[in-house]
């Protein structure tokens, strides 16, 4: 089932305001198994990480440009930096939400899988299904660990962004620009580390998606 079909179904079911169990049951009734929901959510998380990478690159570029300020409207500089900060906060929240969505559906999927394995009477089929579940869980744990590792690098950067933006707001003078310059090297290093970690997580997501779709 393609992403557009899944998205349409999700929007329809969201209006029901149901709990997770009812939500997944509703999807099952219209032909969307938990496995497909999981793949879809991993795709969403991967895409959000791509967008977050670009947002933090944009924020870094704006901070770098601000350190080259050589006269003009400092308030306009503040506005641009604050906009970048707010956009970065929004993406951080989205990344966190995407991870939580994956964790939610994974719990439902793995619980269902375990219950179904217990129903096998054929020992060979039972063993094969258990092995596939164990492999999927291993790949899943690697995926979530990678996503959370990347996500954990976001907040320290946001903290620095926030401090510098507020300091600029409260001063709007050369002292504030000097503060930006003093932090630029650290910000560049932290953003580079975040981007590298995001790329690793994106690769893990692609591997997981391929694994799930090939089973």
Model confidence pLDDT, tens digit, residues 26-80: 888 999 999 999 999 999 999 999 999 999 999 999 999 999 998 889 999 999 9
| pLDDT, tens only, 114-154 | 999 999 999 999 999 999 999 999 999 999 999 999 999 99
| pLDDT, tens only, 12-29 | 555 444 468 788 988 889
Break the chain into its structural domains and give their ranges.
33-214
Please name the residue that has the structure tokens 């401090």: 163
| Least reliable range by pLDDT among 72-76, 84-88, 102-106 | 72-76
What is the DSSP code (8-state) at residue 32?
Answer: -
What is the DSSP code (8-state) at residue 30?
Answer: T
For domain 33-214, give the CATH number.
1.20.120
Please name the residue that has the structure tokens 């997770």: 20
Question: Which residue has better confidence, 198 or 2?
Answer: 198
Overall size of the chain counted in residues: 215
Can you spell out the DSSP letters for 39-92?
A: HHHHHHHHHHHHHHHHHHHHHHHHHHHHHT--SS-HHHHHHHHHHHHHHHHHHH
Q: Is the pLDDT of residue 174 over 70?
A: yes
What pTM was computed for the model?
A: 0.88
C-alpha distances in Å from residue 91, one per residue of 54, 79, 186: 10, 18, 21
């Amino acid at each position: 089932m393609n992403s557009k079909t899944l998205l349409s179904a999700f929007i329809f079911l969201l209006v029901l305001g149901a709990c997770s169990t009812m939500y997944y049951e509703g999807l099952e009734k219209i032909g969307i198994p938990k496995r497909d929901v999981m793949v879809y959510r991993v795709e969403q998380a991967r895409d959000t990480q791509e967008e977050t990478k670009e947002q933090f690159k944009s924020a870094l570029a704006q901070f770098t440009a601000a350190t080259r300020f050589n006269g003009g409207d400092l308030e306009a500089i503040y506005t641009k930096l604050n906009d970048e900060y707010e956009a970065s906060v929004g993406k951080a929240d989205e990344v966190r939400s995407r991870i939580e969505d994956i964790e939610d559906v994974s719990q439902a999927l793995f619980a269902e899988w375990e219950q179904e394995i217990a129903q096998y009477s054929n020992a060979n089929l039972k063993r094969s299904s258990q092995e596939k579940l164990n492999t999927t869980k291993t790949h899943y744990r690697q995926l979530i660990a990678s996503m959370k590792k990347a996500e954990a690098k976001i907040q320290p950067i946001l903290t620095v962004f926030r401090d510098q933006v507020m300091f600029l707001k409260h001063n709007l003078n050369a002292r504030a620009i000097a503060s930006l310059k003093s932090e630029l090297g650290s910000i560049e290093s932290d953003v580079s580390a975040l981007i590298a970690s995001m790329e690793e997580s994106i690769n893990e997501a692609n591997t997981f998606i391929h694994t799930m779709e090939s089973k």
